[in-house]
A and B are shown apart, each in its own frame.
Chain A
């Protein structure tokens, strides 16, 4: 920056030379102030989404830059929510980007007093074993009078109201094929 430009950018200069003699506006704008823009303007893409909290179904716009969520706002086009969000919906970015999000599979062995980390693949294998074991232990072929039951009472599940329809579909389908029927969710609560 040359001396002249340096001086011209000096607020007192601009104040007295420009239309802002009291130095309360144009004259004192800093370069970073002048360059301010909404960070959403530089998003790489906007995903159309839906708030994950209650069942009103407010539409959200999820702004992504460099594969990170940089902002979540209401979608004004929605006939349900008209772009508005409650405090929870407004906190969605913190919900999905906050440090509370666990990223590793954790395992607590019987009688252990602390968590240990586990590889995802190993954990999936262990759960597969345990599902089949519990299914076998709780299996019931028939009632006392011989009517078919074809089920296992050794296995239960709770959850689904926060999940997608497609997920609930696979959950119900797989458990039904396993013969497990104590499959429940918040709708019962």
Chain B
């Protein structure tokens, strides 16, 4: 669901085909019939962006038929926990949870807590009166937020009957997500929906497991994090987490996008999912206090050791106990500094320099025009890539040249293009989608000026430090004190040495540490990323291990290295029952060996190795020591899988169906139309198409979505330049159903253009039975799909499909909604030059679009508050 695995991850799909050959049922739920659907047993088309209505329907089916895996749910999830009596559900408030503040478009989550606990008073909350910007949901690490007091016992009702227990709250929350409601919202006929429910539940339990796969079809939504929560709830209810053949698989789209999240190039994180500090963190102690609780369970309790070891790796000898290990050197975040906010700040002249490192936002990011106008308003831009890309050449061939919005002779941006080394021309590790680090050997030297990023940033840092060597400015201390002395061979820094430092050292002996359990908070260890600690255990590059699959078992523990501590299946304690026995012989993975007094099995146990299943901690125990023998979720502060999230999410403790930001229909479940906390940017250069209850949504009557093709790679820099890939998909096209083609007069292989309030994009028409209309509520809804790989550079060229999207983001993770919008489609090519601008202005006029359109987030009352910001007037006529 939300994944086109056969097309986007073809080699991974071999395992699905193998499972199918072994009689597994493969179900593909996706707006269109793809190459994945073609190989599935069941394809279910649904309306884009209605996944929570569907998943909520499945949850309702499970609960109303009591099909949950009770022996799993009771000990391993928070189903029995009682929630605060002040909690009010969306059923009580017509689509809102308790604590909503319309002016801030944000929640105070205080009423969502378990009875008798307190939430993480994460620093920054309401710090400067803007709870939205300071909302800390994006600041929680892999352990999630803190539930303070979890060690002291939470009030539970093991009968699951108490009206305020999570199980009953869940049941009530989803009670109206009936098969009929699913049919009316998603467009999935009731019978087909029930067939999926049956297949899912009957293939889960002691002897069977079901796996759920998603990709950016789930994340790129204004409610994206809650899509994944909804899937997680089902998998927890059915006992499919932490077990072989179960789980939720996030299939990620770039070679090391998992790595770039673990060792983040992200504004809100430090390595290992430690949050970036905020201004409220006046000291290291205050910071550590905010990311772990005194009375919490689990391994986040040891966050002090992770933080201090990171600071020791960053600032070496300069980091001492007396100076808070240079904690003060860290820059502070106080709001949304995500890539879209930054691009708007570029347009507004607040950003001066920009690095693009193997990324092509002029094509690959939502609202390409905003990206290009931002880049055209910089002092300088550095592009590092294998090949020439649109983001490097926007000043001479952007679509805005034709419309006159960018004039080369008037564009001031200074652009540096640095050719990059390719994957065979440097060594280092990628982290693949299942957290596996694999070391790449260098095959050949790069040519000419081609260099690795390692070379570029090492030498940039060296030059900067040289330049500042004599500086007495206090703000330069973090640079001058920086530990920047990695081994260098010729003039290339050693990636192995960097990896060793990521793994960490015992500074008293100079030896590498063997894992994060070795880390200390007293400054005697250093570690660049605690979850990667162990990748250099015993002084061996574990990521470089290549023991053949022919020479080891199915879990292949000696191929590469998986964080944490080479555990292949996370939370695998749950693969055994509460007593530590496998749920069934067929599904055995990790179990308690009573004779030897330890956990053992096919995988590395993701649990304290010698803690028996019956273990009860002594009074006052905290952190890992406080984990009970049946607390499999060892990173959670209460040790349990969260059906209900008492804290940590900006948009509610439970997933709730909200219509996409741009939708052709009213929310059938609630007065609240869209995610009430989604982040909108009401600016003249970021218009929205109207959605009900706003008027004129009929101007953009169709649902629009985009995805990848097997034959290309994202923004195309690594595929449109290759003859062998370009010839396979040589031209941008738009897929429409025969019904829509008839309605709009579209001819197969003829031209059409798709229009939103932002852009019009032309493409060749593909009329196909793979696209189908859906019956939604009282009408027929047509969906339109385009691949998005084209631009103005390369062997094959085409309009930039991402220009069609505006910027609206999920409030938890600030990812844009670019998997669903509304649009119009018309036959023929789009207008060109200045005529294009007036054509779009005419659409906006007909739809009466202003900067306020789409920004009234609370929709229950007639006149709500709009969330606009004073935007720079765009060079075109103001909408």
Contacts and interface: CB of A to CB of B under 8 A. Distances in A.
Contacts of A101: 386-387, 419, 422, 447, 450
A189 B814 CA distance: 9
B633 interface: no
Given A127-B382, A156-B342, A95 B722 contact: yes
B745 interface: no
Interface in B134-168: none
Interface in A171-189: 171-174, 176-189
A95 to B, nearest CB: 6
Interface stretch (A4-12, A22-30, A32-40, A118-126): A118-126
A137 B252 CA distance: 37
A38 to B, nearest CB: 18
A165 B467 contact: no
Contacts of A176: 270, 314, 330-331, 478
B352 interface: yes
Interface string B362-394: 001110000000000001101011111000000
Interface string A130-172: 1111100111011101011111111111111111111111111
Contacts of A67: 444-445
A78 interface: yes
Contacts of B478: 176-179
Given A169-B498, A181-B333, A185-B260, A158 B359 contact: yes
Interface in B99-120: none
B334 A143 contact: yes
Given A151-B332, A174-B457, A184-B338, A57 B386 contact: no
B842 interface: no
Interface residues of B, number: 162
Interface string A66-88: 01110010010111111011111
Interface in A96-119: 96, 98, 100-115, 118
A112 to B, nearest CB: 8
Given A95-B422, A123-B418, A161 B271 contact: no
A57 B255 contact: yes
A186 B432 contact: no
B530 interface: no
Contact of B254 (A47, A139, A162): A162
Interface in B662-702: none
B826 interface: no
B359 A166 contact: no
A127 B711 contact: no
A189 B364 contact: yes
Contacts of A89: 11
A71 to B, nearest CB: 11
Nearest to A110: B412
B261 interface: yes
A86 B710 contact: yes
B423 interface: yes
Contacts of B8: 54
A159 to B, nearest CB: 3
Given A124-B463, A166-B498, A55 B254 contact: yes
A50 B338 contact: no
A146 to B, nearest CB: 9
Contact of B267 (A124, A126, A182): A182
Contacts of A184: 265-267, 338-339, 342
A47 B331 contact: no
A51 B353 contact: no
A142 B282 CA distance: 12
Interface stretch (B433-441, B570-578, B756-764): B433-441
B352 A133 contact: yes
Contacts of A151: 331-333
A143 B423 CA distance: 42
Contacts of B415: 107-108
Contacts of B330: 150, 176
A82 B255 contact: no
A179 B254 CA distance: 27
A142 B408 CA distance: 38
Interface string B340-362: 00100110001111111111010
Given A91-B725, A171-B265, A153 B386 contact: no
A150 B266 contact: no
Of the candidates B356, B424, B549, B718, the one having the most CB atoms from chain A within 10 angstroms of its own CB is B424
Contacts, number: 481
A157 B719 contact: no
Interface size class of A (residues with CB under 8 A): 35 or more
Given A48-B546, A151-B332, A156-B342, A162 B255 contact: yes
B457 to A, nearest CB: 5
B514 interface: no
Contact of A179 (B331, B337, B354, B430): B331
A155 B464 CA distance: 14
A174 B460 contact: yes
A149 B475 contact: no
A157 B265 CA distance: 8
Contacts of A167: 428, 452-454, 457
B436 A52 contact: no
A141 to B, nearest CB: 8
Given A87-B711, A154-B351, A162-B256, A52 B718 contact: yes
A7 to B, nearest CB: 44
B128 A145 contact: yes
A113 B440 contact: no
Of the candidates A62, A100, A123, the one having the most CB atoms from chain B within 10 angstroms of its own CB is A100
B453 A163 contact: yes
Nearest to B314: A173
A149 B428 CA distance: 34
A133 B352 CA distance: 9
A47 B441 contact: yes
Contact of A182 (B253, B342, B437, B454): B342
B265 A77 contact: no
Contacts of A79: 549, 552, 554, 556, 559
A114 to B, nearest CB: 8
A81 B256 CA distance: 16
B353 A134 contact: yes
B499 interface: yes
Contacts of B526: none
A95 B869 CA distance: 43
B426 interface: yes
B853 to A, nearest CB: 24
B432 A56 contact: yes
A62 B475 contact: no
A57 B448 contact: no
Nearest to B718: A95
Nearest to B313: A173
Contact of A156 (B354, B416, B432, B453): B354
A55 B440 contact: no
B213 interface: no
Contacts of B450: 101-103
A145 B434 CA distance: 44
A50 B255 contact: yes
Given A56-B433, A178-B479, A150 B331 contact: yes
A168 B265 contact: yes
B671 to A, nearest CB: 32
Contacts of B432: 50, 55-57, 80
B746 to A, nearest CB: 29
Given A64-B444, A166-B502, A181-B331, 4 more contacts: A109-B414, A139-B475, A164-B453, A167-B453
Interface of A: 45, 47-59, 62, 64, 67-69, 72, 75, 77-82, 84-92, 94-96, 98, 100-115, 118, 120, 123-128, 130-134, 137-139, 141-143, 145, 147-174, 176-189
14 contacts: A55-B257, A55-B433, A95-B386, A105-B419, A108-B417, A148-B279, A159-B384, A164-B452, A165-B437, A168-B259, A174-B460, A174-B484, A177-B461, A181-B331
Closest 7 CB pairs of A and B: A57-B432, A159-B357, A164-B428, A103-B448, A147-B279, A151-B331, A79-B556
